[in-house]
């Protein structure tokens, strides 16, 4: 190794504590990206594996636009010349007794053999019995199921032949291979119909078609026929916004990581500047200095990246499960396999670490190359240069902010443009930090000078004097704190908006049935209506369908009941909008309106049981149930259009002044429980929805925590470097008569001041960031309005975090002050 | 008469301070012959270090011209000036400017490596010559000031340069150590035929010089003998 390179690399072991902090900082940044990206990729890969596996050899599938399909059509399909093979399917979720959900497929084993031959490579539990008897037992036992090998393995230790579910115990007869990784349960279609009370109905029929156009000419009306590719695209489309937000979170983590590396690289430049000057005077050329510096930051990148890859892999263990349950809660059932270890994770981590190090090191490297050897040798690089650079950076910041502002103003711009704007905003504000620090300095000096003594004055002066270093550290810390405040405010506002929305739409006293499972019998609804004294019985049905080849939701409601009891938030008009709904019109959610650019007064066409039906859009309402768009119509219109009479749940409304109120509630509860139907009070339902919400945002919260950890290492590294750089100066202070305590106090004050300034700046930046996330990003990716609700808590928590991080970061330098004798400090390194 | 190794013609250098230009050199002219040992005597701020930085090609003049070995320094370009420092120039500083992360041996060897003569025995020999045998593997912070300056001298002489610039080489040392260092440096330059220019503000340094130049306010105002210098 060349001695020039060696002279730079030796700093790594010599300043071990600093190298360690830098290493951990890089590792945390890389871990966040690796963890988030791998988890998201695994979840999505698992999703496409499942889709691919379940599709089997089918080329198409046919189903009703909404709800199950009548079994009688199977005989017509048998006779259709365009159909080569077909297999009816019941495709449902099955909740296990422990609350976990698995995928249940009800199939006809004989018909399904040609579509999914792999599934039927069954290993029966009772191997000694004749296979034919086993098959017969699977077909005739109404509780018989086959589980995939993964699930069998999972339950082997518990009760090998019984699968305990919320629908009672099911008898496991055998297992089958399933390469998709998702837990899968197979049941005979007849038994599945029994289990889900779908007599005479199937969810869809998977087809192998000989002639698509011929088939479409006969079945195009009243059915949805999708090719396997379309089906995959429909599902992928549902995840688009979610995926985009995961990518954005990963990018945000990477941004903080790169900023931190920039921060540390900048510090490295400052401490190598004199060495670079000496080397230049001895005849080293720029290239030799560049390669020496690059080796140093690349070693940190490689080691930090490898450690980050390892930590990221551990992080996926938590994140993959979180993602799976979030997707299951919000979109469709998905149980992703945990990420399996591969040496590539280390390689990717190292690659990311190096890439981020290079990205973060580019500007510092330029700084080092431009270093004037004469000034570096004479030590004449200080405040004036720092001030000049701060002014130049501020100018760059203003230009970037202006560009970001234009990006936000672009009408109907794609969400990526919004993300670019947000990143631009963060970058722009970071560049302004030095200048803001200069402007605020006299005030800070005055305040600290008043409340403190000499140490405080010197400490405040030091921050300004070392602007090149402190400015970058404060900016990095400010970005992390702003992210914390911004994300907290956004989540808090979203939560408050959701509570407001629940109070407008979910106002019933009791809700019977589960929203995601259509299981409330219609006769129970009729029975409820007959109870005297109940103000309103509201039948609710929610189903998915396609609009312009995109998945949307359709809800059937009773407009009269909602007009009386609900207080919808309308984008136009008021509760008189229900009159239009009663007359056959529909109301659409804000997300539907924005997504498909449809306004009140216009019409939409949906595929119904008898072919396309056109509806007048009466009004647009605020809604957070689905970002894909919701069309709400009266139940009579819905049944007429889709022929689907199923009910997801029933809402019970009793007037507050009804004298028999409590008695009526008890009666309803008793009747529901007698039928085994779950009953929730309005507030319980609110709580369940908020639980799902909170669970969904766990990922965002974990990213916020990582940002804070990364920031902590950033500020700690910054303080430590400042200390090392100025240890000689500290020695002089002590030689002049400053006590060790005073010097330690000075270090502490510097740390606290930097934390405090970062926090004060982040209060403004974080608030604007929250507004941008709410008004630009959410609106463009989820198409819904979140109302901004100011809250004190995010500021308090972030403020405390900032001060604690600063104290923690100052602890080590203070320890060093107490440990080091002044004469050692004064002496030349 | 031996050939001229350095010629400075009407050299000007100004620095911007608070928006206005303060001249550090004001039309300096200089001629130094090969093998000469020259003391550049002047007060702090007279322009000695600026002149050194210009001769070393670390800085560029505002106006004027410097020739080294008959070649215009400006015309050499950045690469040419770097090569000049690598092969022909040795630099000794008042504050030693050793690389803190390298041992005494490595600091000296660095110079050889840059000059494309990576021979460890030469570095060891140079350290022995300056009296640092046995201390090759010590880091700068494990050496005294005098020892550090000896390493700096070894670093400068090891590649046998034709010119050594020593900026206040004894300015940071006590008188006795300073004398030893000066003696060592001038002796080595005499033996090797190396041109040595020493910037100084003390008479002591001038004693070892064969020629003394006096620098006042950015100009070399007079050439004087050692005895004429103020006490």
pLDDT digit string, tens, across residues B137-156: 999 888 988 889 889 989 99
Q: A350 to each of A126, A306, A319, how far by Cα in Å?
A: 50, 5, 21
The stretch A378-397 carries a mean pLDDT of: 73
Going by pLDDT thresholds of 50, 70 and 90, the confidence category of residue A828 is: very low
pLDDT at A824: 47
Whether A451 has a pLDDT exceeding 90, the answer reads no
Are A379 and A278 in contact, with CB atoms under 8 Å apart? Answer: no
Report how many Cβ contacts below 8 Å link chain A to chain B: 82
B49 touches chain A (CB under 8 A): yes
Tally of CB atoms within 10 A around A314: 14
**Would you give the DSSP letter of residue A601?**
T
Q: Dump the DSSP string for A55-87.
A: HTT-SEEEE-SSS-EETTHHHHHHH-TTEEEEE
Whether A226 has a pLDDT exceeding 50, the answer reads yes
Going by pLDDT thresholds of 50, 70 and 90, the confidence category of residue A820 is: low
pLDDT at B18: 67
> Using one digit for the tens of pLDDT, what is the confidence trace for A605-635?
999 988 899 999 999 999 988 888 999 999 9
Percent of chain A with pLDDT over 90: 25
B141 touches chain A (CB under 8 A): yes
Nearest CA in chain A to B79: A285
| Interchain contact, B53 vs A285, CB within 8 Å | no
Whether A121 has a pLDDT exceeding 90, the answer reads no
Nearest CA in chain A to B103: A7
| Interchain contact, B95 vs A828, CB within 8 Å | yes
Contacts of B114 in chain A (CB under 8 A): 4, 282-284, 288
- Cβ-based neighbours of A728, under 8 Å, separated by 6 or more: A825, A826, A827, A828, A829
| Interchain contact, B106 vs A3, CB within 8 Å | yes
pLDDT at A587: 96
B155 touches chain A (CB under 8 A): yes
pLDDT at A428: 93
| Interchain contact, B82 vs A283, CB within 8 Å | yes
Among chain A, residues having any CB pair with chain B shorter than 8 Å are 2-4, 6-8, 10-11, 14, 274-275, 277-286, 288, 372-374, 377-378, 827-829
Pick the closest to residue A124 from A160, A87, A86 (CA basis). A160
Q: Which segments of A410-466 does DSSP mark as H helices, in order?
A: 415-451, 454-465
Give the integer Cα–Cα distance in Å for A696 and A322: 8
Whether A318 has a pLDDT exceeding 70, the answer reads yes
The stretch A718-745 carries a mean pLDDT of: 70
Contacts of A281 in chain B (CB under 8 A): 56, 58, 85, 91, 97
> Using one digit for the tens of pLDDT, what is the confidence trace for B11-69?
999 887 767 788 889 988 989 999 999 999 888 888 888 898 899 888 889 999 999 88
| Interchain contact, B53 vs A374, CB within 8 Å | yes
| Interchain contact, B85 vs A282, CB within 8 Å | yes
Please write down the long-range contacts of A397-404, taking CB distance under 8 Å and 24 or more positions apart: A397/A427, A397/A428, A397/A429, A397/A430, A397/A431, A397/A432, A397/A435, A398/A428, A398/A432, A399/A428, A400/A424, A400/A427, A400/A428, A400/A431, A401/A425, A401/A428, A401/A429, A401/A432, A404/A428
B34 touches chain A (CB under 8 A): no
Helix (H) or strand (E) holding B92: strand B89-92
> Using one digit for the tens of pLDDT, what is the confidence trace for A533-570?
888 999 999 888 889 888 899 999 999 999 999 999 99
pLDDT averaged over chain A?
83
Best B19, B87, B97 member to test A by mutation, with max A CBs in 10 Å, is B97
User: How many angstroms separate the CA of residue B1 from the nearest CA in chain A?
Assistant: 30
């Amino acid at each position: 190794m060349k001695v020039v390179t060696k002279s730079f690399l030796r700093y790594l072991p010599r300043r071990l504590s600093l190298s360690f902090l830098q290493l951990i900082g890089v590792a945390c940044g890389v871990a966040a990206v690796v963890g988030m990206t791998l988890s998201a990729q695994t979840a999505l890969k698992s999703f496409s594996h499942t889709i691919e596996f379940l599709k089997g050899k089918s080329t198409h599938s046919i189903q009703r636009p909404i709800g199950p399909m009548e079994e009688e059509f199977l005989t017509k399909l048998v006779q259709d010349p365009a159909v080569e093979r077909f297999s009816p399917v019941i495709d449902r979720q099955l909740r296990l007794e422990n609350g976990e959900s698995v995928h249940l497929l009800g199939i006809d084993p004989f018909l399904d053999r040609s579509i999914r031959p792999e599934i039927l490579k069954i290993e029966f539990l009772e191997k000694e019995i004749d296979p034919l008897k086993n098959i017969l037992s699977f077909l005739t036992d109404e509780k018989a199921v086959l589980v995939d090998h993964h699930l069998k393995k999972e339950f082997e230790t518990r009760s090998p032949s019984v699968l305990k579910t919320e629908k009672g115990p099911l008898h496991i007869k055998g297992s089958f291979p399933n390469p998709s990784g998702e837990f899968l349960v197979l049941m005979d279609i007849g038994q599945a119909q029994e289990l889900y009370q779908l007599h005479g109905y199937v969810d869809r029929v998977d087809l192998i078609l000989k002639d698509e156009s011929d088939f479409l000419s006969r079945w195009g009306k009243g059915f949805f026929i999708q090719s396997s590719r379309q089906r995959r695209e429909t599902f992928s489309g549902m995840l688009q916004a979610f995926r985009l937000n995961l990518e954005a979170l990963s990018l945000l983590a990477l941004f903080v990581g790169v900023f931190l590396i920039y921060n540390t690289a900048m510090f490295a430049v400052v401490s190598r500047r004199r060495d670079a000057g000496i080397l230049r005077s001895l005849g080293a050329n720029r290239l030799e200095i560049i390669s020496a510096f690059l080796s140093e930051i690349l070693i940190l990148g490689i080691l930090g990246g490898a450690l980050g890859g390892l930590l990221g892999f551990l992080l996926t263990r938590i994140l993959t499960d979180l993602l799976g349950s979030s997707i299951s809660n919000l979109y469709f059932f998905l149980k992703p396999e945990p990420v399996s270890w591969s040496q590539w994770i280390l390689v990717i981590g190292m690659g990311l670490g190096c890439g981020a190090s290079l990205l973060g090191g580019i500007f510092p490297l330029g700084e080092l190359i431009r270093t004037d050897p004469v000034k570096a040798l004479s030590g004449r690089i200080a405040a004036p240069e720092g001030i000049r650079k701060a002014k130049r950076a501020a100018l760059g910041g203003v230009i970037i902010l202006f560009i970001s502002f234009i990006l936000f103003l672009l009408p109907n711009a794609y969400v990526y443009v919004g993300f670019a704007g947000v990143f631009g905003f963060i970058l722009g504000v970071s560049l302004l930090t030095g200048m803001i620090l200069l402007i605020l300095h006299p005030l800070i000096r005055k305040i600290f000078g008043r409340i403190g003594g000499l140490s405080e004055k010197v400490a405040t002066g030091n921050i300004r004097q070392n602007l090149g270093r402190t400015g970058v550290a404060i900016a990095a810390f400010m970005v992390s704190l702003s992210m914390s405040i911004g994300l907290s405010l956004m989540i808090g506002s979203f939560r408050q908006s959701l509570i407001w929305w629940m109070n407008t739409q979910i106002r019933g006293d009791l809700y019977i049935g589960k929203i995601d499972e259509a299981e409330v019998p219609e006769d129970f609804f009729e029975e409820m209506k007959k109870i005297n004294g109940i103000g309103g019985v509201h039948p609710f049905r929610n189903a998915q369908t396609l609009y312009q080849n995109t998945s949307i939701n359709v809800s059937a409601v009773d407009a009269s009941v909602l007009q009386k009891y609900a207080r919808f938030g309308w984008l136009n008009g008021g509760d008189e909008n229900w009159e239009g709904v009663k007359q056959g019109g529909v109301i659409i959610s804000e997300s539907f309106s924005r997504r498909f650019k449809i306004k009140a007064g216009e019409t939409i066409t949906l595929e119904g049981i008898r072919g396309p039906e056109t509806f007048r859009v009466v009004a647009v309402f605020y809604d957070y149930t689905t970002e894909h768009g919701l069309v709400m119509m009266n139940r009579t219109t819905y049944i007429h259009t889709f022929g689907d009479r199923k009910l997801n749940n029933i809402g019970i409304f009793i007037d507050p002044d009804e004298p028999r109120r409590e008695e009526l509630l008890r009666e309803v509860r008793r009747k529901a429980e007698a039928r085994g139907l779950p009953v929730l009070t309005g507030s319980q339902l609110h709580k369940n929805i908020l639980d799902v919400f909170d669970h969904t945002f766990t990922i965002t919260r974990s990213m916020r925590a990582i940002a804070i950890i990364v920031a902590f290492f950033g500020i700690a590294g910054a303080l430590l470097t400042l200390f090392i750089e100025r240890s000689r100066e500290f020695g002089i202070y002590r030689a002049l008569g400053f006590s060790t305590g005073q010097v330690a106090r000075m270090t502490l004050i510097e740390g606290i001041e930097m934390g405090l300034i970062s926090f004060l700046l982040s209060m403004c930046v974080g608030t604007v960031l929250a507004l941008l996330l709410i008004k630009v990003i959410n609106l463009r990716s989820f198409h819904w309005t979140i109302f901004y609700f100011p809250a004190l808590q995010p500021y308090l928590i972030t403020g405390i975090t900032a001060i604690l991080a600063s104290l923690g970061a100052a602890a080590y330098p203070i320890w060093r002050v107490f440990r080091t004798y002044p004469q050692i400090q004064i002496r030349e390194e | 008469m031996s050939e001229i190794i350095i010629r400075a013609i009407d050299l000007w250098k100004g620095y911007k301070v608070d928006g206005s230009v303060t001249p550090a050199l004001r039309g300096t002219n200089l001629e130094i012959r090969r093998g000469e040992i020259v003391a550049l005597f002047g007060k702090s701020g007279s322009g000695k270090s600026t002149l050194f930085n210009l001769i070393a090609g670390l800085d560029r003049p505002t106006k004027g011209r410097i020739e080294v070995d008959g070649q215009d320094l400006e015309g050499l370009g950045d690469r040419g000036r770097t090569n000049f420092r690598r092969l022909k120039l040795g630099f000794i500083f008042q504050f030693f400017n050793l690389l803190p992360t390298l041992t005494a041996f490595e600091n000296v060897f660095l110079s050889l490596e840059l000059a494309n003569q990576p021979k460890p025995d030469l570095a060891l020999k140079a350290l022995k010559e300056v009296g640092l045998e046995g201390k090759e593997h010590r880091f700068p912070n494990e050496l005294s000031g005098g020892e550090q300056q000896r390493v700096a001298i070894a670093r400068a002489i090891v590649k046998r340069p034709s010119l050594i610039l020593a900026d206040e080489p004894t300015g940071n040392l006590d008188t006795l150590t300073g004398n030893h260092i000066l003696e060592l440096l001038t002796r080595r330059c005499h033996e090797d035929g190396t041109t040595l220019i020493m910037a100084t503000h003390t008479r002591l340094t001038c004693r070892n010089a064969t020629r003394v130049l006096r620098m006042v306010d950015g100009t070399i105002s007079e050439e004087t003998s050692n005895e004429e210098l103020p006490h």
